[in-house]
Chains A and B, each alone.
Chain A
Amino acid sequence: MTLLIGALTLGIILSLLALGVYISYRIFDIADITVDGSITFGAAVSSVLLVQMGVHPLWATLAGFLAGAIAGTVSGILQTHFKINPLLSGILVMTGLYSVNLHVMGRSNIPFLGTVTLSTYCEKIGNIVFGGNEILLMGWTVSTTDLMTLILMFLLVSSISLVLWLFFHTDLGTAMRASGDNPQMIRALGGNVEYYKIFGLALSNGLVGLAGALWAQYQNFADVQMGIGMVVWGLASVIIGEALAGTASVVTAIIGTIIGSILFRQLVAIALSFGLNPNDLKLITALFVFAALILPNMLSKLSVGKRKVAL
Chain B
Amino acid sequence: MEKEDDKSDRRKFLKLGALAGGVVLLGSAIGKAVSLDSTKETGEKVKVLTADGKLMEVDGCNMKHPAAVKLTNQEMRKGIEGKKFVMVIDLAKCANARKCVEGCQKMHHKQAPTEWIKVKRMQDAESLTPYWMPQPCFHCDNPPCTKVCPVDATFKREDGLVMIDNERCIGCRFCMAACPYNSRSFNWSEPIIPQGMEAAEYSIEKSFPAKIGTVEKCDFCPDMAREGKLPDCVTACPNGTIFYGDQNEDTVTNGDQTFRLKELLTNRSGYRYLEELGTEPRVYYLPPVNRDFPFENDTIVHNTEDYKII
Partners in one complex: no
